[in-house]
């Protein structure tokens, strides 16, 4: 029982780190265009992240039971998955690189589960058909394919929206454009914060639901007192208290800010004005909302970053600092394999020290 509580605390620690690591996703463009002060932007992002986190459970379900065989998931497996994700998040945050917290968690879960199954690769649900819905689920359709498709959609969407705005507004003075889009960017930033909450906060909800389901299945909660029966989870579902708790912790993390990544995305990658910020946020919020509806644990970092690139490229191709983009891309590519490897060896070491 003590181990279960420790893992729950660690899951919430990941959610907090995720909050300040991904703050830049919601507010970098708003801060860089000076539409809001950093403090105002963070408070706005925290509020809309909170609302978005309470809006559904599709992504949570994918994380909790759609990627690995849950028969091989025990409490220690989840512990190692979360530790690997937190280590990678803190490292990339320190370097100021906007890597994906989602992919860090997914890589950690896959690597730790593989170690728990003693290298049996069949525990990774690569691509399976859901008998009830007839749809393909698993790592390939829900994670790997979107990992490559979504950045392309982000760049293309950012380019198209920005080009369309420039054509429609070509006769309006720059001063009036800045005034109009300074207001409209508040709407697009709110939409970005909300959609971020619908996707990112649900990942930890899925992990906590998996923790509780695993503990219930293993009999850990069989003798709980009445006041603790809310932990009992006989089927895979996300309880209301889990939703609220994860939403609040992510909002708290968002409120703490992630200044290193904000500087990278909002200032170093490309210089933005309100119209560019509006185009990037609108593109990203739309893509994330669609992905959340379909239960795809998308990298919100990838989407907003590539949307900014697309908008910047329309402004002027050389306006985007492509050298920095290359560093960011390496962080994206390495996230899943590095966290999977970290979690795998953590679990192997744990199995050697505490054999089950």
pLDDT digits (tens, 9 = 90+) for 107-129: 999 999 999 999 999 999 888 87
344's tokens: 């795998």
CA atoms within 13 A on the CB side of 42: 18
pLDDT at 132: 67
| Contact yes or no for 220/77 (Cβ under 8 A) | no
**137 three-state secondary structure:** strand
* Mean pLDDT for the stretch of residues 19-42: 74
Higher pLDDT, 340 or 101: 340
307: confidence class by pLDDT, cuts 50, 70, 90: confident
**238 three-state secondary structure:** coil
Cα-flanking dihedrals φ and ψ of residue 137, to 5°?
Answer: -130, 170
142 pLDDT more than 60:
yes
268 pLDDT more than 70:
no
pLDDT at 226: 77
**How many distinct structural domains can be found in the chain?**
1
- Separation in Å, CA 237 to CA 61, 193, 289, 326: 8, 25, 22, 40
| Contact yes or no for 221/120 (Cβ under 8 A) | no
Range of 9-18, 54-63, 343-352 with top mean pLDDT: 343-352
* Mean pLDDT for the stretch of residues 226-251: 80
322 pLDDT more than 80:
no
Dist. CA 51–CA 32, nearest whole Å: 24
Nearest residue to 139 (alpha-carbon basis) of 296, 308, 351: 296
pLDDT at 82: 92
* Nearby residues of 126 by Cβ (< 8 Å), 6 or more positions away: 138, 139, 140
* Mean pLDDT for the stretch of residues 316-345: 79
pLDDT at 276: 86
266 pLDDT more than 60:
no
* Mean pLDDT for the stretch of residues 324-353: 85
pLDDT at 114: 95
Sign of CA dihedral 209, 27, 93, 342: positive
262's tokens: 């904000």
pLDDT at 259: 60
pLDDT at 123: 92
* Mean pLDDT for the stretch of residues 206-220: 83
Long-range contacts of 41-44 (CB under 8 A, 24+ apart): 41/189, 42/254, 42/255, 42/257, 43/255, 44/186, 44/189, 44/190, 44/193
347: confidence class by pLDDT, cuts 50, 70, 90: very high
270: confidence class by pLDDT, cuts 50, 70, 90: low
Domain residues for the domain of 292 are 2-353
184 pLDDT more than 60:
yes
Nearest residue to 54 (alpha-carbon basis) of 187, 186, 230, 241: 241
Alpha helix stretches (DSSP H) within 218-267 = 240-256, 259-263
């Amino acid at each position: 029982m003590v181990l279960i509580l420790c893992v729950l605390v660690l899951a919430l620690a990941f959610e907090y780190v995720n909050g300040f690591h991904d703050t830049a996703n919601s507010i970098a463009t708003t801060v860089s265009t000076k539409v809001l002060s950093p403090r105002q932007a963070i408070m706005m992002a925290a509020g809309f992240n909170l609302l978005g986190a309470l809006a559904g459970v599709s992504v949570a379900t994918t994380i909790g039971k759609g990627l690995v065989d849950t028969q091989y998931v025990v409490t220690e497996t989840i512990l190692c998955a979360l530790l690997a994700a937190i280590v990678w998040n803190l490292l990339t945050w320190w370097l100021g690189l906007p890597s994906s917290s989602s992919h860090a968690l997914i890589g950690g879960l896959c690597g730790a589960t593989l170690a728990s199954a003693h290298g049996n690769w069949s525990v990774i649900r690569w691509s399976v058909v859901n008998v009830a819905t007839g749809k393909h689920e698993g790592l390939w359709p829900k994670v790997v394919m979107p990992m490559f498709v979504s950045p392309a959609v982000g760049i293309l969407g950012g380019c198209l929206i920005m080009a369309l705005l420039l054509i429609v507004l070509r006769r309006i003075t720059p001063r009036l454009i800045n005034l109009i889009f300074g207001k409209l960017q508040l709407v697009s930033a709110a939409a970005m914060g909300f959609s971020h909450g619908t996707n990112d906060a649900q990942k930890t909800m899925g992990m906590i639901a998996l923790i509780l389901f695993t503990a219930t299945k293993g009999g850990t909660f069989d003798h709980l007192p009445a006041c603790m029966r809310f932990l009992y989870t006989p089927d895979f579902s996300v309880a209301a208290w889990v939703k609220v708790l994860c939403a609040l912790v992510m909002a708290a993390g968002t409120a703490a800010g992630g200044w290193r990544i904000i500087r990278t995305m909002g200032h170093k990658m490309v210089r933005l004005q309100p119209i560019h910020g509006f185009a990037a946020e609108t593109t990203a919020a739309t893509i994330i909302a669609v992905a959340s509806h379909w239960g795809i644990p998308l990298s919100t970092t990838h989407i907003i970053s590539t949307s900014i690139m697309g908008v910047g490229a329309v402004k002027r191709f050389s306006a985007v600092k492509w050298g920095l983009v290359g560093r960011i891309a390496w962080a994206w590519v390495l996230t899943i394999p590095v966290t999977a490897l970290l979690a795998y060896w953590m679990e192997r070491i744990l199995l050697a020290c505490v054999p089950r």
